[in-house]
């Protein structure tokens, strides 16, 4: 009897366990199904038919195998309406986040953590500058902007009906507002901000003069000041704290581009290559598209949220850009009335500044009553210092991008241009940011122009903040358009730029004191000058080139300097470096040692003497370190090198620290060290900083990659080795077939995490696998947009 009872108990337990197991399995299945539904429901419709209110005639959208939309319309309105609709299908959250950041409205949806960022962008006034620009646009330009906005809003209205919002909106718990033409212009102004203008360098130099002896301060200047600078004392304004909350663009925002005439190519037709260097993230800053109507047939990339094609080609021409990096920003020292903080001295009179109300709404908190003060020069930006609000000294920012500009007008005309004359005429409207444009056409012409609005100063040279209480340092217009640096069909047969110095010392106008390290440009010219049978494949190989000319310059003298240095670790590292071919390959130890060593040299020189936040203002830090090393190796060490014990001590201490850090991460056997174990790219999503969302949005993890900040394959890295900056788009054009081009958009086209095109180009970016995109008849998924009946 007891046995039977026990047996029954066992059966019941087994049934209970089976039921619990089945329930758990069912729950897991429900979770999986729910997650699948949650992630896949927002995917846009990319084939079949959709009726859209506002569309005039039918439009065909073909997404090819890489997710590139090819839009064919019969009229201009429908073309840009459809461009807005399609961009919103793939990138609506990115578009909304971009306009919010540029407008200083992140806190409305994020919360208190972004208040300081919002204050900064409200102070700059990118949106105010965009609003002022509207009046400068032609009727045609405004028609395009309005058509694009209509298309974006058509998709937003569709989402209100279907509820298929991108998951980021669901996570953050809000829905986007209707799109306005001003939103597109504001995003354009943000790109001018991202490409900088050197105000931070002026602030840093002023800090140096406040803090160090003159000789030591000037040792980090790109050139010696022509005249005695105006010194602001720490009591008036402490530059080590004044900009702690400022948003600083990445130091390496640059690019490579080049164009080669048919005289140097295998086909006799010209070649063009471009790879803009910006932040690497998901989704990409670029969105690749092909636009076709009866009036235009153009392909390339555009910023999500903006109509047209900013970089690319049509059936007759191709073009690309790098950042010129001119001095288009000046900090003015303003004298404030001690009795009225809104009065500022100018030419012996007190002028009333403009006070602009910029209330900042904050999610789950009260609205902040924020005010911006603008003098005749621009917004007061030193208000970010804790004690600056009552100071009688303030700093205002004058910047060309805060004026009314018409970049979209230029883009539309560039898209229609058929030759250099028409293209150069179109560029006249592209004033900010100043860019190095390279160009080629069907006829084989190659050309270059350093384009943009670059101010002429009555006095001063952009090195330091200047007095704002007098007109002595006022801007006197801009460099005349026909006197901007221009090259057409040079004898060398090629033109290349890599953010390097673009003019000689005999050029009559001042452009900049800050240029990128020369190594990318040197390597590009080395390769292009070495062959007269260049092909498109050679151009792609050059964009992926990992030769480190900085190492080629410094490693031999470093080895010589430390030849007699004792220490097993140091000699083992030097032995590895001595056998290196200077390629920053991901599977080598030498680039791991050298690139970390160069970072550590900078740390050894500056970190104990300059606050970390202030050091972030030092835009030319890497170039300055290079020059300090050159001087020291030549027997002329400056005060910074002397202060750390001389060049030998600097090299030993920094190399010892470098090896210690790598050993901690990789172990003691240098034979097992690989650059790619540390140097990895991940293309992070903006919401992935919040765990566990990183597992959702960055599900591909990170990938080892070669290159570095100084190689043509640009791959700048953070202190933890994360590659967060480099070629955001790679483009190669062979005019032997102007109807197609080669592209990589890392990490992919789509902003939807469950899309096949979300990060499908991540490995392509690492390995250099390009895809072809045609201006002809594409194959892929076809979507027909038709007017609502």
12 contacts: CB under 8 Å, gap ≥ 6: none
Distance CA 235, CA 320 (A): 47
Catalytic residue among 133, 240, 255, 728: 255
Instruction: Centre a 10 Å sphere on the Cβ of residue 638 and count the other Cβ atoms it contains.
Output: 16
The sign of the CA dihedral 411, 415, 418, 419 is positive
Q: And the tokens for 202? A: 């002026």
Q: And the tokens for 130? A: 């965009």
Per-residue three-class SS string for 201-265: HHHHHHHHHHHCCHHHHHCCCCCCCCCCCCCCCCCCCCCCCCCCCCCCCCCCCEEEEEEECHHHE
339 contacts: CB under 8 Å, gap ≥ 6: none
Mode of pairing for the β-strands spanning 781-787 and 48-52: parallel
391 is catalytic: no
Task: Write the DSSP assignment of 745-765 as a string of letters.
Answer: -SS-S---TTSTTSSTTHHHH
Q: Which neighbouring-strand residues pair with 537?
A: none
Distance CA 356, CA 531 (A): 58
Distance CA 541, CA 398 (A): 41
Residue 229 has φ and ψ, to the nearest 5°, of -75, 160
Instruction: Centre a 10 Å sphere on the Cβ of residue 338 and count the other Cβ atoms it contains.
Output: 10
Nearest of 661, 647, 754 to residue 699 by alpha carbon: 754
User: Angle CA(173)–CA(175)–CA(179) in degrees, nearest 5?
Assistant: 150
Nearest of 107, 105, 149, 102 to residue 126 by alpha carbon: 102
Asked if 493 and 260 touch (Cβ cutoff 8 Å), the reply is yes
Distance CA 281, CA 651 (A): 35
Nearest of 187, 124, 141, 98 to residue 402 by alpha carbon: 124
Nearest of 635, 549, 642 to residue 598 by alpha carbon: 549
Distance CA 417, CA 708 (A): 36
Annotated binding site for Ca(2+): 327, 330
Distance CA 169, CA 162 (A): 14
Q: Which neighbouring-strand residues pair with 451?
A: 435
Per-residue three-class SS string for 122-149: HHHCHHHHHHHHHHHCCHHHHHHHHHHH
The helix/strand/coil state of 673 is coil
Q: How far is CA 108 from the centre of its chain?
A: 24
Name the residue with tokens 């217009």. 477
- Would you tell me the crossing angle of helices 647-666 and 568-578 to the nearest 10 degrees? 90
> What amino acid positions are annotated as catalytic residues?
255
């Amino acid at each position: 009897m007891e046995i039977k009872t026990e047996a029954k108990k066992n059966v019941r337990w087994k049934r209970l366990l089976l039921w619990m197991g089945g329930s758990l399995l069912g729950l897991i299945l429900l979770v999986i199904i729910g997650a699948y539904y949650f992630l896949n429901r927002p995917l846009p419709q990319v084939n079949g038919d959709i009726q859209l209110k506002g569309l005039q005639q039918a439009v065909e959208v073909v997404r090819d195998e890489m997710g590139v939309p090819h839009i064919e319309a019969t009229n201009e309105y429908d073309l840009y309406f459809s461009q807005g609709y399609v961009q919103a299908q793939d990138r609506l959250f990115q578009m909304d986040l971009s306009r919010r950041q540029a407008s200083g409205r992140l806190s409305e949806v994020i919360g208190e953590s972004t208040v300081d960022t919002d204050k900064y962008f409200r102070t700059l006034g990118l949106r105010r500058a965009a609003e002022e620009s509207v009046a400068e646009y032609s009727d045609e330009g405004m028609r395009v902007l309005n058509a694009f906005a209509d298309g974006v809003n058509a998709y937003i209205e569709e989402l209100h009906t279907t509820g298929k919002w991108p998951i980021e909106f669901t996570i953050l718990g809000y829905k986007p507002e209707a799109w306005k033409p001003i939103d597109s212009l504001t995003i354009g102004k943000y790109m001018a901000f991202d490409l900088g203008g050197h105000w931070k360098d002026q602030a840093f130099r002023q800090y140096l003069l406040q803090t160090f002896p003159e000789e030591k301060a000037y040792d980090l200047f790109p050139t010696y000041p022509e005249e005695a600078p105006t010194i602001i004392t720490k009591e008036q304004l402490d530059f080590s704290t004044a900009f702690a909350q400022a948003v600083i663009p990445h130091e390496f925002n640059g690019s490579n581009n080049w164009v080669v005439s048919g005289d140097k190519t295998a086909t006799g037709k010209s070649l063009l290559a471009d790879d803009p260097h910006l932040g690497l993230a998901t989704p990409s800053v670029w969105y690749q598209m092909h636009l076709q109507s009866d009036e235009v047939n153009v392909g390339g990339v555009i910023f999500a949220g903006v109509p047209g094609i900013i970089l690319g080609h049509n059936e007759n021409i191709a073009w690309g850009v790098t950042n010129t990096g001119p001095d288009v920003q000046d900090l003015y020292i303003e004298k404030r009335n001690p009795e009225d903080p809104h009065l500022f001295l100018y030419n012996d009179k007190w002028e009333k500044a403009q006070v602009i109300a910029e209330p900042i709404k904050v999610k789950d908190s009260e609205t902040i009553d924020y005010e911006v003060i603008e003098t005749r020069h621009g917004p007061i930006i030193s208000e970010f210092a804790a004690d600056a609000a009552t100071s009688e000294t303030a700093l205002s920012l004058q910047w060309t991008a805060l004026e009314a500009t018409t970049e979209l007008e230029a883009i539309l005309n560039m898209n229609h241009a058929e030759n250099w004359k028409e293209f150069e005429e179109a560029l006249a409207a592209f004033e900010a940011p100043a860019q190095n444009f390279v160009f080629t056409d069907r006829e084989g012409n190659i050309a270059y122009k350093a384009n943009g609005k670059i101010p002429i100063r009555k006095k001063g040279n952009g090195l330091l903040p200047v007095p704002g209480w007098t007109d002595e340092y006022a801007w006197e217009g801009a460099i005349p358009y026909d006197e901007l640096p221009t090259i057409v069909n040079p004898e060398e047969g090629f033109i290349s730029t890599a953010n390097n110095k673009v003019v000689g010392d005999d050029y009559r106008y001042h452009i900049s004191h800050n240029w990128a390290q020369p190594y990318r440009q040197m390597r590009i010219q080395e390769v292009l000058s070495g062959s007269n049978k260049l092909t498109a494949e050679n151009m792609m190989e050059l964009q992926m080139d990992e030769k480190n000319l900085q190492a080629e310059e410094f490693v031999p003298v470093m080895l010589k300097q430390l030849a007699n240095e004792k220490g097993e670790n140091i000699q083992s590292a030097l032995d590895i470096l001595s056998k290196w071919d200077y390629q920053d390959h991901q599977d080598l130890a030498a680039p791991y040692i050298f690139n970390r060593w160069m970072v550590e040299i900078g740390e050894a020189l500056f970190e104990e003497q300059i606050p970390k936040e202030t050091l972030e203002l030092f835009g030319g830090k890497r170039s300055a370190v290079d020059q300090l090393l050159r001087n020291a190796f030549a027997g002329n060490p400056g005060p910074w090198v002397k202060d750390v014990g001389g060049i030998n001590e600097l090299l030993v201490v920094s190399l010892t620290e470098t090896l210690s850090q790598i050993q901690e991460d990789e172990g003691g056997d240098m034979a097992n060290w690989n650059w790619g174990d540390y140097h990895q790219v991940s293309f992070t999503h903006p919401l992935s900083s919040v765990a566990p969302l990183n597992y959702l949005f960055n599900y591909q993890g990170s990938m080892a990659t070669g290159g570095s900040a100084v190689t043509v394959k640009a791959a700048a890295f953070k202190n933890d080795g994360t590659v967060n900056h480099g070629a955001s788009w790679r483009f190669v054009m062979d005019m032997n077939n102007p109807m197609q081009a080669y592209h990589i958009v890392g990490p992919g086209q789509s902003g939807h995490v469950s899309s096949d095109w979300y990060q499908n180009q991540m490995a392509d970016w690492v390995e250099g696998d390009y895809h072809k995109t045609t201006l002809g008849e594409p194959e892929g998924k076809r979507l027909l947009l038709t007017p609502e009946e």
